[in-house]
Chain A
Amino acid sequence: MIATLIAKDLKLYARNRLYSFLTVFALLAYIGIYFLVPASTNEELSIGLALEVPQEHPLVQYVVRFMEPQLFTSREALLASVEEGEVTAGLVITREVLARLQQGQAVNLPLYVTPGTPSYLQEALADVVAVAINDLVSPGGGRMRLIEETEEVLGPDLMGASLSMRQRLLPMLVMFVLLIEAFGMATLINQEVVTDTVRALLVTPLRTSQFIAGKALLSVGLAITQVLILLVATGQIVTAPLQLLVLILLGGLFMTGVAFLIAAIARDYMGVFTWGLVFVLPMMLPGLTVAFPGMASAWMEWIPSFFLVDGLHRALNFQVSWGELSGNLVSLLGISLLLLALGGTLLRRRFQ
């Protein structure tokens, strides 16, 4: 009976043009976005240096050793390279500059930066060069003698191998797939309520619990299928297949609970849209903070979807152990069961 119900729902889902289109289009778009964003990070500040003085000069050698710049034989070659964006910034050391530095006199150095460089980066690059050269020419070691620093690293230390935008984006894309799925499922159930087909179904031997179970199975199945397509297409399923499967299954349950809640509260199609936004917009925040950590805040860790996104982030990008992932899995399972129970109860009350 449940299988028949699922087959009927699949047909209904496919007939809803908006969600069918959104499902296919969004899935293709997410795969496209994944491959469009950079797969690597640029960890280097590429600085060019044009020398109009002998390279053997001790001060020049210090500068070259400290800044590891790309060397140019003339000012013109350097400026052309900066303008083309081959190096981010460029500096010219002339005879006059060198002489003034040796005599300890004040020097104003222009640092040429590529067109379109953000103002903060212009300022930061100027700082890098100024601090480096001042440290070299300053008697007594400049700032180096002032500070004794103790450092503590929080989280996995990826020094020199930080995550690419592509790696950061994937957990968020998985989350989006599940959210669109929740919207679709809530609409499907709501349509049954609004058109009263649910009453028609429930006067048959089909019980309310079977009806709800059928919807839950369909929703989780659709969610798992779509996320699997995304992970297979991006080639990331191989990073931690078992952990990802468990997370997707729990994510599917979680989103089904959310869909049940929306469908139970909303009066009609507009209600699904409105309540969908109310539920879905905050749920997106943890995903955004993985992609753009600058937005992260302590309270966002209280949003239930955090456990799913954080779990995906750890499984995909840090290859964590089951033990390290257990907190996320247990929390996600608990929240999903709670949402399913609450949503199921509200739906049951609505059908009666």
Chain B
Amino acid sequence: MSLQRIVVLLGKEARLNATNVFFAYSIAMPIVLSLLVGLVFGDIFSGMPRLGIYAEGETELLGLLDAKGSLQVRVYESPDVLRGDVRRGAVQVGLILPAGFDQALRRGEVTRIHALRWGEASLRDLALIETAVADVMVELAGIPTPVQVEAVPLGKVQVASWSQRFLPLLVIMAVLLGGLLVPATSLITEKQSRTLVAVTTTPTTLLEVYASKVLLGLLIGLFTGWATLFLNNAFGGQAALLLGVLGLGALAASLLGALLGTLSKDMDTFIAVVKGLGLLLWGPGILALIPQVPEWVARIFPTYYIVDPVLQISQRGAGFSELAGELAILLALVGTLLLALVHIVERRKEKMALAE
């Protein structure tokens, strides 16, 4: 296998597929759906006040504020970046906490903090941010708070956010549509126009052709998955691990797409197979919409091992060690698909050789 030839083929694939309706669909659909879900149900309209914090030292304030769930809290590595985000309204208030902030509070010393306020922030949001921060500071300082207030919603209240419930389905759609559709439709088109045979009469091998298609599917799946997480504000801190897991998921989808593209006689058969596989593919996403269903049911579906690690990392900050089991299953899935694809490609090569 020549890496140079694969790169050349990848470029050709990207150019040819750029005008393919499935290519546009696989890229646009998850993004449009994310925006729609965000607009209809989601956090874009949630109105949750936004607070940014730059702490010069360690502070428990961040964890306590995050646990409250009444603010969107962003942590910054530099005061200049925080200042930039306050200026553009990405966060409405930015707090710069000095080193030893927690210790000073606990000792009951007067502590200086610098607050940056976005001029366009509403009074209501400023009041909510101020009280949430004050409440947490009192807790940190250990000041007794005799009055505890508990919110009692009247009537039937939907507590879980619908955008959160939709996120697994959106992630599955993004990774699968992007990864699966492009290699599959590209292979079917090449089969129908008999260009695969033409290409393999050159020094290019069939495996290299497949590798370039799988690689393109992987890149598209990775991009749409990333874009979906970004649009849903679910891009967590561990970017490398998240990209790795998204990449594995996109690779699995792309390998499945290449398999289906090879086995499907024509586009109609492929679409029928995808429809038939629908429940198996989208299952974990659909189940996430129904909180009454126990979590173990979702584990039956292979795509669970793509979406769950992604969400664990992006939403709950899980690390590699916590996800080792699920990632091992995902790797096994990728390995199985890869072996199956190599086996089929080899058989096709033999058939083509016999035909010659």
| CB of B12 closer than 8 Å to a CB of A | no
| CB of A3 closer than 8 Å to a CB of B | no
| Chain A residue at minimum C-beta to C-beta distance from B231 | A295
Interface of chain A residues 144 through 167 with chain B (CB within 8 A): 145-160, 162-163
Interface bits B212-252 vs A (CB < 8 Å: 1, else 0) = 00000000000000000000010000000000000000000
Shortest C-beta distance, B229 to chain A (Å), equals: 13
Selected from A44, A124, A153, A274, the residue in CB contact (under 8 A) with B49 is A124
| CB of B336 closer than 8 Å to a CB of A | no
In contact, A266 and B19 (Cβ under 8 angstroms): yes
| CB of A302 closer than 8 Å to a CB of B | no
A-contacting residues of B (Cβ < 8 Å)?
18-21, 23-24, 27-28, 31, 43-50, 68-72, 81, 83-90, 105, 108, 110-124, 127-128, 131-132, 134-135, 137-138, 141, 143-159, 161, 233
Given contacts A128-B128, A153-B117, contact A123 B69 (CB under 8 A): yes
Selected from B68, B90, B116, the residue in CB contact (under 8 A) with A127 is B68
In contact, A151 and B90 (Cβ under 8 angstroms): no
Shortest C-beta distance, B115 to chain A (Å), equals: 5
9 contacts between A and B (CB under 8 A): A108-B149, A113-B153, A114-B154, A124-B131, A138-B146, A151-B117, A152-B114, A158-B119, A295-B233
Selected from A108, A116, A124, A153, the residue in CB contact (under 8 A) with B132 is A124
In contact, B151 and A111 (Cβ under 8 angstroms): yes
Shortest C-beta distance, B189 to chain A (Å), equals: 13
- Cβ-closest 10 pairs across A and B: A293-B89, A115-B155, A122-B151, A155-B119, A123-B70, A124-B70, A130-B149, A271-B19, A157-B119, A296-B90
In contact, A127 and B70 (Cβ under 8 angstroms): yes
| CB of A12 closer than 8 Å to a CB of B | no
Query: How far is A126 from B68 in the complex, measured between Cα atoms in Å?
Result: 11
Shortest C-beta distance, A339 to chain B (Å), equals: 20
Shortest C-beta distance, B120 to chain A (Å), equals: 5
| Chain A residue at minimum C-beta to C-beta distance from B49 | A124
Query: How far is A96 from B331 in the complex, measured between Cα atoms in Å?
Result: 62
Q: Which residues on A sit within 8 Å (CB–CB) of B27?
A: 277
Given contacts A112-B154, A155-B118, contact A106 B146 (CB under 8 A): yes
Q: Which residues on B sit within 8 Å (CB–CB) of A130?
A: 135, 145, 147-149
Q: Which residues on A sit within 8 Å (CB–CB) of B81?
A: 298
Given contacts A111-B150, A112-B152, A120-B71, contact A151 B115 (CB under 8 A): yes
| Chain B residue at minimum C-beta to C-beta distance from A106 | B146
In contact, A159 and B148 (Cβ under 8 angstroms): no
Sample of 7 more A-B contacts, CB < 8 Å, known A115-B154, A145-B110, A296-B85: A108-B148, A114-B154, A126-B149, A127-B132, A130-B148, A146-B110, A277-B28
In contact, B147 and A113 (Cβ under 8 angstroms): no
In contact, A270 and B124 (Cβ under 8 angstroms): no
Query: How far is A147 from B155 in the complex, measured between Cα atoms in Å?
Result: 39
| CB of A2 closer than 8 Å to a CB of B | no
In contact, A83 and B154 (Cβ under 8 angstroms): yes
User: Could you tell me how many residues of chain A have their Cβ less than 8 Å away from some Cβ of chain B?
Assistant: 82
Query: How far is A192 from B47 in the complex, measured between Cα atoms in Å?
Result: 47
In contact, B20 and A143 (Cβ under 8 angstroms): no
Selected from B137, B146, B152, the residue in CB contact (under 8 A) with A105 is B146
| CB of A118 closer than 8 Å to a CB of B | yes
B-contacting residues of A (Cβ < 8 Å)?
41-45, 79, 82-83, 89, 101, 104-134, 137-138, 142-143, 145-160, 162-163, 266-268, 270-271, 273-275, 277, 281, 289, 292-298, 301
In contact, A148 and B143 (Cβ under 8 angstroms): no
Given contacts A120-B70, A273-B24, contact A128 B88 (CB under 8 A): no
In contact, A138 and B120 (Cβ under 8 angstroms): no
In contact, A127 and B135 (Cβ under 8 angstroms): yes
Selected from A42, A111, A119, A133, the residue in CB contact (under 8 A) with B159 is A119
In contact, A131 and B134 (Cβ under 8 angstroms): yes
Query: How far is A54 from B43 in the complex, measured between Cα atoms in Å?
Result: 43
Q: Which residues on A sit within 8 Å (CB–CB) of B120?
A: 155-156, 158, 162-163, 293
Given contacts A110-B150, A113-B152, A162-B121, contact A150 B144 (CB under 8 A): no
In contact, A44 and B154 (Cβ under 8 angstroms): no
Query: How far is A151 from B233 in the complex, measured between Cα atoms in Å?
Result: 28
Query: How far is A169 from B128 in the complex, measured between Cα atoms in Å?
Result: 24
Query: How far is A41 from B24 in the complex, measured between Cα atoms in Å?
Result: 38
Q: Which residues on B sit within 8 Å (CB–CB) of A151?
A: 114-117
Selected from B111, B134, B149, the residue in CB contact (under 8 A) with A129 is B149
In contact, B134 and A270 (Cβ under 8 angstroms): no
In contact, A79 and B154 (Cβ under 8 angstroms): yes
Q: Which residues on B sit within 8 Å (CB–CB) of A119?
A: 69, 159, 161
Q: Which residues on A sit within 8 Å (CB–CB) of B145?
A: 130, 134, 138
Q: Which residues on A sit within 8 Å (CB–CB) of B113?
A: 147-150
In contact, A148 and B131 (Cβ under 8 angstroms): no
Q: Which residues on A sit within 8 Å (CB–CB) of B153?
A: 112-115, 117, 122
Shortest C-beta distance, A229 to chain B (Å), equals: 25
